[in-house]
């Protein structure tokens, strides 16, 4: 833990500064040194965490649902209610009972992968959200995009889905081209980008705040022998960091939910495009 903490920041002059800011933000997020390499594939800490998140999701779901008890344990109840929440509130609630179940596997995968990946941000010893790496939100947003565009074309046909969207008959002719352009850009271009960036930015900001505050707290308090009374700043940073920690836990859960919910909303609007 001590080494990781120190490695997360560049040299910090606790005598001259009031907070330990990194010289380059990237170093908080990029673990370029591979743990090991397989055929040119660098198995970095982030890659390891991605697979760890996967393993946790698989393990939690397996342990939580394997026994099919009529009277479930507390853990089983927790897993079941999470799954039930995605099924009832997101899949059935948003997409509808008729089509919702078809997209349930995807929505469940999204929610659980992101939930674990996001909560990594505030998990002791890990302290790093894998969704703060653009690869994860970008990939998942692309999958959502492919699904809702495909569903839109498959369900409603090219004319009904695409032409009616960019040339909306219900809008007066003078404005039609403008509304159509806005719709075209917002649905087919902005949706996946905002979806990815919303998650990514939340995770980056949270990780940044936590690292800055907690590392400053630890380093200032640790340097008490050298800087004397100034180490008191460390207490402020540390307490503030712990408060943010609670807040970031909520954000982590919320962002997993929002990403899943919006994916469901996009799929739903493709099933029944507005007229």
Partner 1 sequence: MNNLKRRYMAAAPLVIAAEEAESGGLDLLLPETSELIAGIIAFAIIFFFIWRWVVPTLGETLSKRQEAERSKLEAAENTKQEAEQMASDYREQIAGAKDEATRIVEEARQAAETVRSETIARAQQEAEEIMTRARQEADAETARALAEARGTVANLSIDLAEKVVGRSLDRETQLALVDDYLAELETGS
Chain positions contacting partner 1, by CB under 8 A: 3, 6-7, 9-12, 14, 23-27, 29-30, 32-33, 41-44, 46-47, 50-51, 53-54, 57-58, 61-62, 65-66, 68, 70, 80, 83, 87, 104-106, 108-109, 112-113, 130, 133-136, 138-140, 143, 200, 204, 219, 222-223, 225-226
Q: How far is the CB of 161 from partner 1 (least distance, A)?
A: 25
> Minimum CB separation from partner 1 for residue 196, in Å?
10
Tokens of 266: 């996009």
User: For residues 272 and 98, what is the distance between their CA atoms, to the nearest angstrom?
Assistant: 12
Structure tokens at 220: 């200032």
Q: Is 226 or 272 the residue whose CB approaches partner 1 more closely?
A: 226
Choice between 200 and 257, CB closer to partner 1: 200
- Minimum CB separation of residue 26 from partner 1 in Å reads 5
Nearer CB in complex with partner 1: 102/182: 102
Instruction: Choose between 25 and 254: whose C-beta lies nearer to partner 1.
Output: 25
Q: How far is the CB of 194 from partner 1 (least distance, A)?
A: 14
Least gap, CB of 171 to partner 1 (angstroms): 34
Write the secondary structure of 37-96 as one string of H (helix), E (strand) and C (coil). Answer: EECCEEECHHHHHHHHHHHHHHHHHHHHHCCCCCCCCHHHHHHHHHHHHHHHHHHHHHHC
Whose Cβ is closer to partner 1: residue 93's or residue 223's? 223
112 burial via Cβ count (<10 Å: 0-12, 13-18, 19+): buried
Best CA proximity match to 84, nearest among 263, 76, 119, 252: 76
Q: Are 169 and 273 in contact (CB under 8 A)?
A: no
């Amino acid at each position: 833990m001590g080494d990781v903490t120190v490695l997360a920041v560049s040299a910090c002059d606790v005598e001259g500064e009031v907070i330990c800011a990194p010289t380059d933000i990237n170093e908080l997020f990029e673990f370029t040194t591979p743990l090991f390499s397989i055929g040119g594939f660098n198995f970095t800490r982030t890659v390891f965490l991605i697979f760890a998140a996967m393993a946790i999701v698989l393990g939690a779901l397996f342990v939580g649902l394997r026994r099919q008890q009529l009277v479930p344990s507390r853990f089983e109840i927790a897993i079941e209610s999470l799954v039930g929440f995605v099924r009832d509130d997101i899949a059935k609630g948003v997409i509808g009972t008729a089509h919702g179940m078809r997209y349930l596997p995807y929505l469940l995968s999204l929610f659980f992968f992101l939930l674990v990946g996001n909560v990594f941000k505030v998990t002791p010893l890990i302290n790093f959200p894998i969704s703060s790496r653009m690869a994860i939100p970008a990939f998942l947003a692309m999958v959502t995009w492919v699904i809702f565009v495909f569903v839109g074309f498959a369900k409603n046909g090219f004319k009904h889905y695409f032409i009616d969207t960019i040339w909306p008959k219900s809008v007066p002719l003078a404005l039609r081209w403008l509304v159509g352009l806005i719709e075209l850009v917002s649905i087919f271009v902005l949706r996946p980008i905002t979806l990815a960036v919303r998650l990514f930015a939340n995770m980056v900001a949270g990780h940044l705040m936590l690292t800055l505050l907690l590392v400053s707290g630890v380093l200032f308090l640790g340097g008490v022998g050298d800087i004397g009374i100034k180490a008191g700043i460390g207490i402020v940073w540390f307490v503030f960091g712990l408060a943010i920690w609670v807040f970031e836990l909520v954000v982590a859960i919320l962002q997993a939910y929002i990403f899943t919910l919006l994916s469901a909303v996009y799929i739903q609007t493709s099933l029944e495009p507005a007229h």
